[in-house]
């Protein structure tokens, strides 16, 4: 019995001592090969990889910012990689900032149409030197991610800064959103804003506080929307940020 125990413990000791060898740190060359394999998709054909002390550096160029973002994520998830320096340049066509912003504003406005949350997203778009900054509010993480993905896959976008605030889940706020939507859009002089998603009155709710965003045709429409929102039971306050077309923005 003692002899068996000695053999048993010797076997366990041998197994334990062999673990470090099995999980020895990979060489930089091996890691580089692993990252290159992860980036074998044709969308990364212009990307080069180097690895030093476990740190991967990505260089080269891609046509869309989405490819740069995905390359970063794929390299980061390679086992053994300690970090990623993403120096990939986004090439493709250069589009004037104003033109790119107009295009993205329209695209983001129409995003998620058919899912019933369009009126509850108020996502702003700014462009400077091809760098797009997204701000404002999204009804949920899916809506925010959808807007970011749409921008990342647009030609001419060189970088994306995501400053979108995602509204936290709240049954009370959901009830107020739906009630405010019915109150505002159910009013005859305002239901025209339900036709074009790019001209929607946006309803943002947080903790029972309602903020209205968007552009309306007249001061009368703005005032009517604010009054209708204030009639909803459970609303603590209404901040009417609606802008009147062809007039300077004025907070009321």
Residues of the chain below pLDDT 70: 1-24, 248-252
Q: What is the pLDDT of residue 250?
A: 55
pLDDT the model gives residue 67? 95
pLDDT of residue 151: 97
Q: Can you say how many angstroms the Cα of residue 33 is from the centroid of all Cα atoms in its chain?
A: 30
- In the structure encoding, which two tokens stand for residue 133, read together? 């900054």
Phi-psi category of residue 156: left, alpha or beta, with phi > 0 → left and psi -120 to 50 → alpha: left
* Count of other CB atoms within 10 angstroms of residue 73: 11
Whole-structure pTM value: 0.80
CATH of 171-244, one of 3.30.1340.30, 2.40.10.230, 1.10.3210.10, 3.40.718.10: 3.30.1340.30
pLDDT value at residue 249:
58
- pLDDT given at position 12: 47
Structure confidence by residue, pLDDT tens digits, 79-105:
999 999 999 999 878 899 999 999 999
DSSP string, 143-160: HHHHHHHHHHTSTT--EE
Q: What is the CATH number of domain 2-90?
A: 3.30.1340.30
Provide the CATH topology of domain 97-166: 3.30.1340
- Give the tokens for residue 1: 């019995």
Reduced to 3 states (helix: H, G, I; strand: E, B; else coil), residue 108 is: helix
In the chain, CATH 3.30.1340.30 covers 2-90, 97-166, 171-244
């Amino acid at each position: 019995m003692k002899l068996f125990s000695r053999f048993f413990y010797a076997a366990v000791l041998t197994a334990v001592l062999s673990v470090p060898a099995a999980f020895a740190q990979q060489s930089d060359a091996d890691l580089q090969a692993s990252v290159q394999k992860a980036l074998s998709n044709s969308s990364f054909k212009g990307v080069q990889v180097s690895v030093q002390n476990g740190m991967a550096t990505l260089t080269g160029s891609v046509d869309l910012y989405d490819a740069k973002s995905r390359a970063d994520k794929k390299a980061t998830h390679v086992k053994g990689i300690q970090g990623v320096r993403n120096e990939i340049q986004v090439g493709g066509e250069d589009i004037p900032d104003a033109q790119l912003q107009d295009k993205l504003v329209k695209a983001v406005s129409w995003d998620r149409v058919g899912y019933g949350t369009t009126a509850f997203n108020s996502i702003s778009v700014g462009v400077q030197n091809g760098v797009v900054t997204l701000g404002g509010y999204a009804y949920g993480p899916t809506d925010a991610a959808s807007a970011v993905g749409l921008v990342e896959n647009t030609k001419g976008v060189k970088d994306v800064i995501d400053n979108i605030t995602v509204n936290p889940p709240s049954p009370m706020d959901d009830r107020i959103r739906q009630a405010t939507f019915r109150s505002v859009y159910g009013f005859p002089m305002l239901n025209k804003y339900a036709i074009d998603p790019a001209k929607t009155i946006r309803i943002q709710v947080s903790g029972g506080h309602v903020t209205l965003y968007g552009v309306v045709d007249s001061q009368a429409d703005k005032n009517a929307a604010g009054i209708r929102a204030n009639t909803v039971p459970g609303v603590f306050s209404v901040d009417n940020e609606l802008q009147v077309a062809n007039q300077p923005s004025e907070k009321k």
